[in-house]
Structure 1
Amino acid sequence: MSARWSEDQWGESEQRSEFQKIRRKHSKPKGRRRIDDLTAKNTEDIADDTIRRLIDLGHLSEVVAELKSGKEATAYIARSDKGSVLLKIYRDFEARSFKNDAIYREGQVVLDQRAARAMKSRSSKGLEMLQFDWVMSEYAHLWHLWRAGLSVPEPLVGPNVKTYAETVPAVLMRLIGTEDQPAPRLSDARLSPEEARSAWQQAVGGMADMLRLGYAHGDYSTYNLLWWENQVILIDFPQLTTRQNPNFRDLLRRDAESLATSFKRHGIQETGESTLREVQRRALGPAPEPRVVLP
């Protein structure tokens, strides 16, 4: 649907077909799922159709617990034959407290004019398309960043687009931490002065790595960074935007301001301007070693 994830050479007709195939048939928008609806001894007794589908597809074996609920999605701890899983299930657009995604979508090219009109008018079908696009964008960006060697969670479905399209409205990735002790957000972590300085350097480096790839995160702060075993892990990527977006420079500057402001509680006293300059300087340097994705 959108240029954000159509780089994978998947035709728009196939995209529409996949969207229609997985389109959920319910009249009431789905918001936060109750953990009781996601679990049962037998798969057929699980109330949530998304979880049943993920289990039937072999992507999950069970949901263990709710981890965190946000304005767009709820994160759960789950299990699969690949180990512990972070299961992120997006709420329907109508059920989100955050709905204004226009600033991130500017500059995108939607070749299907009917789809473009539906999304612009935010009709019921258009909202479903926006939901589909939002989740698919997170998968596409996560795979791109993972392959490029950035410190992000490993995506567990894909890299074939058609494969991860089947999981919408869910995104599955490797759980950072353990089931008993999931990695905290950097905003919640208690750091020594030495750890805080290391975390700051890694966070600035992560923003520079994204800029080198042509991305602005759009919501970059300690609230979207995890801290595990003295390492910063970047998360939350559906709103990533590229230089095609006329708001790119503003979003990049906003990310620098947010990062500097959110690190003040860890004793790091930097300004948004100095942070942006350092990010831009580092973006001219060497890139991380790319990861090899085996078939």
Structure 2
Amino acid sequence: MSARWSEDQWGESEQRLRRKHTKPAGRRRITDLTAEQPEDIADDMIRRLTDGGFITEVLAELKSGKEATAYIANTYKGTALLKIYRDFAARSFKNDAIYREGQVVLDERAARAMHNRSRKGLEMLQFDWVMAEWAHLWHLWQAGLSVPEPLVGPHPFDYAATIPAVLMRLIGTEDEPAPRLSEAKLTPEQAQNAWNQSVQGMADMLRLGYAHGDYSTYNLLWWENTVIIIDFPQLTTRQNPNFRDLLRRDAESLSISFRKHGIQETGESTLREVQRRALGPGPAPRLVLP
């Protein structure tokens, strides 16, 4: 992750993370996120996002995973995907150490709290995890990769106000959100096209020094014959001693998950092709106004 925070820096946002209850927040009920009047919304975080002008309303739940739940929401910039992370202590997936190796936390107290997974340490890990997704999403978007457009930022001060949520433009429409590539029905020609785009996307990330860490058709969307990469908090860089293993695992996962679409490639051949393409030119960067 590229977002590193000392304990003092994190403390500036601590009040946004604290809750009136002590039970870790898990999956939120859609009934708590919606109401006819914004002031009647039961969920404190949604009221904060609404009061801050980040969203105007939550429309529906889209998909729930082991770390977060995705909702469809309206914003002043259009229809968005609102990804709300569960509190770290409430996740079914907690083994994040492999992705965090090689990171430097300068504040010794902060590092100790996160290592010991104390209450404050878990809150700091939560903050860091969500900030990492924001930072990676912006980096990939600005570099021209096929990822959803982030809707808050690009400065960390701006998107830190949304934690534990990430807001990005919805791929697809409110009535027909883009399916995951694992769920899409493809012709042989579409499957080959999707495979080519997926390998290229992995190569483009590698060119930037990233391994995705969870790259497969489950974290790729398919919309209008285009592959869109999603899910970025666990992205790692070459500073991580596990980088090569994670890159190899991504290639293996991609090749295995594409077999249902009739693509028969091995993890080794996929990795070689990704590495070859990573030596070539990347996509044209996007101009992002400050």
TM-score (norm 2): 0.98
Query: What is the aligned partner in structure 1 of residue 131 from structure 2?
Result: 136
Q: After superposition, give the CA deviation of every residue in 1:227-264 in whole Å (9 maximum; x if it has no partner).
A: 00000000000000000000000000000000000000
Q: Find out whether 1:201 has 2:199 as its counterpart.
A: no
Residues 1-295 of structure 1: matches in 2 within 5 Å? 4-6=2-4, 12=6, 15-25=9-19, 26-295=21-290
SS in 1 for 2:60: strand
Deviation, structure 1 residue 21? 2.9
Deviation, structure 1 residue 14? 6.1
Give the distance between the partners of 2:64 and 2:9, measured in 1 at CA: 29
Give the distance between the partners of 1:238 and 1:18, measured in 2 at CA: 21
Deviation, structure 1 residue 23? 2.2
Instruction: Using the aligned pairs only, state the percent identity.
Output: 77
Deviation, structure 1 residue 266? 0.1
Q: After superposition, give the CA deviation of every residue in 1:117-144 in whole Å (9 maximum; x if it has no partner).
A: 0000000110010000000000000000
Deviation, structure 1 residue 43? 1.1
Give the distance between the partners of 1:18 and 1:62, measured in 2 at CA: 27
Letter in 2 for 1:49: D
Letter in 2 for 1:118: A
Deviation, structure 1 residue 13? 6.6
Give the distance between the partners of 1:39 and 1:168, measured in 2 at CA: 19
Give the distance between the partners of 2:275 and 2:135, measured in 1 at CA: 24
SS in 2 for 1:237: coil
Letter in 1 for 2:57: E
Unaligned runs of 5+ in 2: none
Deviation, structure 1 residue 22? 1.2
TM-score (norm 1): 0.96
SS in 2 for 1:128: helix
Give the distance between the partners of 1:75 and 1:16, measured in 2 at CA: 25
Unaligned runs of 5+ in 1: none
